Amino acid sequence: MQKFLPTTKQEMRERGWDVCDIVFITADAYCDHPSFGVALLSRLLEDEGYKVGIIAQPDWKKNDDFLVLGKPKLFFGVTAGNLDSMLNIYTSNMNLRRQDKYAPGGAAGNRPKLPTIVYSNKVRELFPGTPVVIGGIEASLRRLAHYDFWSDKVKRSILFDSKADLLIYGMAERPILEVAKRLKAGQKVEGFDDIRGTVIARKDISFLDDYTLLPSFDETAKDKHKFLEAFDLYSRELDPFNARPVVQKTDTRFCVQLPPALPLSTQEMDRIYGMKFIRKCHPKYEKFAGVPALTTVETSIISHRGCAASCSFCTLSLHQGRVIQSRSPESIVKEAQEIASKNGFKGVISDVGGPTANMYMAVCSTGNKCSKADCLWPEVCSNFKIDFSKQIKMLSGVRNIKGIKKVSIQSGMRYDLLILPAARDFFVELCRHYVSGQLKVAPEHVSDKVLRLMHKPPFETYEKFIKAYEELNKKLDKKQYLVQYFITAHPGCDLDDALALARFTKNMGYTPEQLQDFIPLPMTRSSVMYYTGIDPDTGKVLYVAKKKSERARQRQLVQHKGHQGAELT
pLDDT of residue 561: 61
- Sequence-distant (≥ 6) Cβ neighbours of residue 513 within 8 angstroms: none
Q: How many CB atoms lie within 10 A of CB 391?
A: 27
User: Which residues in the chain are classed under CATH 3.30.750.200?
Assistant: 437-569
Q: What is the DSSP string of 208-254?
A: -SS-EEPPPHHHHHH-HHHHHHHHHHHHTT--TTTPPPEEEEETTEE
pLDDT tens digits along 150-169: 999 999 999 999 999 999 99
Rounded to an integer, the average pLDDT of 212-236 is: 97
Distance of CA 228 to the CA centre of its chain: 23
Q: How many CB atoms lie within 10 A of CB 508?
A: 12
> Of all residues in the chain, what percent carry a pLDDT higher than 70?
98
- pLDDT tier at 564, thresholds 50, 70, 90: very low
- According to DSSP, residue 430 is labeled I
pTM of the predicted model as reported, rounded to 2 decimal places = 0.96
User: Which residues in the chain are classed under CATH 3.40.50.280?
Assistant: 9-193
Class of CATH domain 9-193? alpha beta
R_g over Cα of the chain: 24
Which amino acid is present at 107?
A: A
- pLDDT tier at 509, thresholds 50, 70, 90: confident
Do residues 297 and 35 make contact, with C-beta atoms less than 8 angstroms apart?
yes
Distance of CA 109 to the CA centre of its chain: 22
What residues are paired with 201 via a beta bridge? 255
Rounded to an integer, the average pLDDT of 72-78 is: 98
Query: How far apart, in Å, are the Cα atoms of 229 and each of 218, 274, 480, 537, 538?
Result: 13, 43, 46, 12, 13
Do residues 181 and 45 make contact, with C-beta atoms less than 8 angstroms apart?
no
Class of CATH domain 437-569? alpha beta
Parallel, antiparallel, or unpaired for β 253-257 and 246-250? antiparallel
Is pLDDT at 563 greater than 70 in this prediction? no
CA-based nearest residue to 214, from 231, 194, 193, 199: 231
Is pLDDT at 566 greater than 90 in this prediction? no
Rounded to an integer, the average pLDDT of 219-227 is: 98
Give the Cα separation of 428 and 59 in Å (integer).
50
Terminal Cα distance for the chain, rounded: 64
Give the Cα separation of 135 and 24 in Å (integer).
10
pLDDT tens digits along 374-385: 999 999 999 999
SS (H, E, C) 53-82: EEEECCCCCCCHHHHCCCCCCCEEEEECCC
Q: How many CB atoms lie within 10 A of CB 142?
A: 28
Rounded to an integer, the average pLDDT of 224-246 is: 96
Rounded to an integer, the average pLDDT of 6-27 is: 97
Rounded to an integer, the average pLDDT of 336-350 is: 96
- Sequence-distant (≥ 6) Cβ neighbours of residue 512 within 8 angstroms: 484, 486, 505, 558, 559
Is pLDDT at 118 greater than 50 in this prediction? yes
Rounded to an integer, the average pLDDT of 506-526 is: 87
Give the Cα separation of 102 and 33 in Å (integer).
13
Give the Cα separation of 84 and 163 in Å (integer).
19
| Mean pLDDT computed over every residue of the chain | 95
- pLDDT tier at 473, thresholds 50, 70, 90: very high
Rounded to an integer, the average pLDDT of 302-328 is: 95
* Residues 457-465: contacts with CB under 8 Å, at least 24 apart: 457/376, 457/377, 457/378, 457/379, 457/415, 457/416, 461/415, 461/416, 461/419, 462/415, 464/419, 465/415, 465/416, 465/418, 465/419, 465/441
Characterize 404-433 residue by residue with b for buried, 16 or more Cβ atoms within 10 angstroms of its Cβ, and e for exposed: beebbbbbbbbbbbbbbeebeebbebbbeb
- Sequence-distant (≥ 6) Cβ neighbours of residue 295 within 8 angstroms: none
H helix intervals, 430-517? 448-454, 459-475, 495-508
Which amino acid is present at 67?
A: L
Give the Cα separation of 351 and 302 in Å (integer).
8
Q: What is the DSSP string of 148-175?
A: ETTTTEEE--HHHHHT-SEEE-S--HHH
